[in-house]
Chains A and B, each alone.
Chain A
Amino acid sequence: MARRVGIVGVPPLVVIEEINREGDSIVDLDEPQIRAPIDQTAVYIPRVYCAILRTVVLNCLHLPLDMVYIDVGPGKCDCALHVAEVLADMLKVPVIRTRNRDTRAFGHPLCTSRLPLIEKFNRITKGVQSAAPYPPMEACPPKCGFWGVPPRDFSLLTLFPETTHVFGWTRCMENKTPADLELERVFDPAIPTVFFSQSFCAKSALAKHLAAKHPRAIAVDCDVAASSSTRAKIEAFLELSGIEPGKERTP
């Protein structure tokens, strides 16, 4: 009988291949899977903590799972390492720690494609559940850039035009090399770029650092949901860069 396997972060390819081979179904615990107040997790982890990992705990509180793979290596973060301890005590199913150091590059065609940004992120995050190579996609000339991790609140992505190129850890995700810091550091200085990080995430230091190096960039962070001021900052940044936020669509 097919099992329900929860994953946190990007487990190594061999793990994904094994799950697929067994015919088990994958549940991405980094994404909101259920509707419940996130404060329910406060019994287990602090309220002032990465919203992605709070979401992981919330999902684990409600979803029936047969096992969980949680990546705790350089391709994820120390917070995940510690939350793995919490999950192991909280759940009655096996919680398996992995350290993804995969180096086989799958490419990142979605990151440079012309699609609504939210669709790119949906496909990239879904892509983690498969070990199959990507079909080729035509790259578009970029008007702006989004650097960072997939946000907890995808509604933030609707502000960007379809010609947004994706950088940072999301690009590493699509490339299936989540620990590739060289790739994570890449940005395009020729296009206005939003450097995004989740509030309380260690990557916010890199976001701020790279934004300072970039000639036209802002660094923003966001916790559980995008506040009106975060949205306004992004909107204004795009507008003042000559890009009409969220309006550009494929003819």
Chain B
Amino acid sequence: MLLADFGTSYCKILDTKSEGIPRIVATRDLDRAFRADLATGHNAARRSRRSINELTALARGGQRLVDRADFVLLDCGSRDIKYVRFRGGEVVDMGWNAECGASMGFTIELLSTYYRLDYAAIPPPAAGFSITCGVLGMSHIFDAVVSGASEAEAVARFVRGIALNAHRFAHEPEELYLSGGLCANPLFVASFPCQVHPLGRFVLLEGLRATLDELPVSPLLGAQ
């Protein structure tokens, strides 16, 4: 059974028959003919036999991975941010910001390549830029560099601004669980003004596994 989380920049694919870890494929490199059995994410409906939406996958994945009844789980992707809030073991609130959260993760990756920066080597700054999206936020970086800030310092303030924005979007919890590729970015994780528990980039895949466990064996999916 092939499970896939089709991200905007990266696809996470798991073959349930193998016990190995999921493989990560750049979306642009994924074979156009590839089809999953169960999937979520960008164009999942077109590229799989069955799909669920990303909020559902996020919530189910969070429920499997977090052994608490009350928590907030925030997923920061390449293109959008989304969160689910659990109370008493049930989802009581959720949000998906595809417009104002535009291209946050994508821009952070782009900047590290452009300026040749190692995010593990940059300390979190005391303050971030006031920004609402990756694209609009970039002009702050150029302004700061023109004003004499180092490129690393300017990008760090940008990254902190992104983290603060994502935190506000999730209604400013004191503690949150983080999902997505940005879990591997130490500067981003340290830029949140709250306690952060990174869960990694396979939370949505875990949600697909949970969905699979709940599905009856059907002709559509075949035997597991």
Mark A residues whose CB is within 8 Å of B. 216, 218, 227-229, 232-233, 235-237, 239-240
Contacts and interface: CB of A to CB of B under 8 A. Distances in A.
Contacts of B94: 218, 233, 236-237
Interface of B: 52-56, 59-60, 80, 90-99
Secondary structure at chain A's binding surface: helix, strand, loop or mixed?
helix
A232 B93 contact: no
Contacts, number: 39
A193 to B, nearest CB: 13
A240 B91 contact: yes
Nearest to A217: B92
A236 B59 CA distance: 9
A233 B98 contact: no
B100 to A, nearest CB: 10
A114 B94 CA distance: 28
A229 B90 contact: no
A232 B83 CA distance: 12
Secondary structure at chain B's binding surface: helix, strand, loop or mixed?
mixed
A228 B93 contact: no
Contact of B96 (A216, A233, A239, A240): A233
Contacts of A232: 53-55, 96
B98 A240 contact: no
A140 B68 CA distance: 36
A233 B55 contact: yes
Nearest to A239: B56
Contacts of A227: 98-99
B99 A239 contact: no
Contacts of A237: 91, 94
Nearest to A240: B91
A240 B99 contact: no
B55 A236 contact: yes
B38 to A, nearest CB: 14
9 contacts: A216-B90, A216-B92, A228-B98, A229-B99, A235-B53, A236-B53, A236-B55, A236-B56, A240-B56
Contacts of A240: 56, 59-60, 90-91
A233 B59 CA distance: 11
A228 B91 CA distance: 20
A-B pairs with the 4 shortest C-beta distances?
Answer: A236-B55, A229-B96, A236-B56, A232-B53
Contacts of B56: 235-236, 239-240
A229 B98 contact: yes
A229 B97 CA distance: 7
A240 B63 CA distance: 11
Given A236-B55, A240-B56, A240-B91, 4 more contacts: A232-B96, A233-B95, A235-B56, A240-B90
Nearest to A237: B94
Nearest to B58: A236
Contacts of B96: 229, 232-233
